[in-house]
C-alpha cells in the first residue's frame, strides 16, 4: 500500500497516515484485497479518503463480462457493512465524533471514496 497524505495544518501527517492505513486494512480484511493507493485529506470537519486500485481479479472478470453493476452493488454493501468499524477507527484516531459517512465506487478508473463529516470541534 502506498499512502500519501495532504492536509492543513501540516501536523496532521501521522493522523492522515493512520486513517489511510485503517481504511486499506479494513478493505483488505473484508474483501480479501485492499487498495494499492490511499490518500487522506482533512479540512476542518471533513475527512476524505481516496482509494485506488481496489478491484479484485474476480471483480475484474465480472466487469470484463458486462457485470459492472454487480461489482458496484457488492462494493457498496461491503462499505455499508464496514461502516461501524471505519467510523470507530476515525473517531479513535481523531478524537472526534463522526456524524455522517458517505461512500461510493467508480470502475474506470478504479477509485473509491469515503467522506466522513465530523461533529464540530470543541475549541
Q: What are phi and psi of 97, to 5 degrees?
A: -80, 140
Instruction: Return the CATH number at 56.
Output: 3.30.980
Q: Are 113 and 49 in contact (CB under 8 A)?
A: yes
Q: Which domain holds residue 86?
A: 2-118
Decide if 17 is inside a domain.
yes
* pLDDT over threshold 70, residue 57: yes
Domain count along the chain: 1
Decide if 91 is inside a domain.
yes
Decide if 107 is inside a domain.
yes
Residues 66-122: pLDDT tens digits? 999 999 999 999 999 999 999 999 999 999 999 999 999 999 999 999 999 999 987
The whole-angstrom separation of Cα 29 and Cα 98 is 22
Averaged pLDDT score across all residues of the chain? 91
Decide if 123 is inside a domain.
no
* pLDDT over threshold 90, residue 12: no
Instruction: Please compute Rg for the chain using Cα positions.
Output: 15
The whole-angstrom separation of Cα 94 and Cα 34 is 22
Q: What is the pLDDT of residue 122?
A: 75
Burial 93-116 (b: 16+ CB within 10 A, else e): bbebebeebebebebeebbbebeb
Q: What is the pLDDT of residue 2?
A: 42
Which residues 6+ apart lie within 8 Å of 113 measured at CB? 48, 49, 50, 51, 103, 104, 105
Amino acid at each position: 500500500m502506498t499512502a500519501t497524505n495532504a492536509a492543513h495544518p501540516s501536523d496532521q501527517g501521522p493522523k492522515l497516515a493512520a486513517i489511510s492505513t485503517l481504511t486499506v486494512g479494513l478493505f483488505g480484511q473484508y474483501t480479501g484485497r485492499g487498495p494499492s493507493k490511499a490518500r487522506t485529506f482533512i479540512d476542518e470537519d471533513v475527512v476524505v479518503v481516496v482509494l485506488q486500485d481496489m478491484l479484485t481479479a474476480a471483480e475484474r472478470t465480472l466487469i470484463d463480462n458486462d457485470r459492472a453493476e454487480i461489482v458496484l452493488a457488492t462494493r457498496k454493501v461491503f462499505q455499508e457493512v464496514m461502516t461501524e468499524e471505519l467510523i470507530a477507527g476515525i473517531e479513535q484516531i481523531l478524537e472526534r465524533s463522526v456524524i455522517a459517512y458517505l461512500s461510493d465506487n467508480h470502475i474506470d478508473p478504479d477509485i473509491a471514496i469515503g467522506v466522513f463529516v465530523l461533529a464540530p470541534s470543541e475549541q
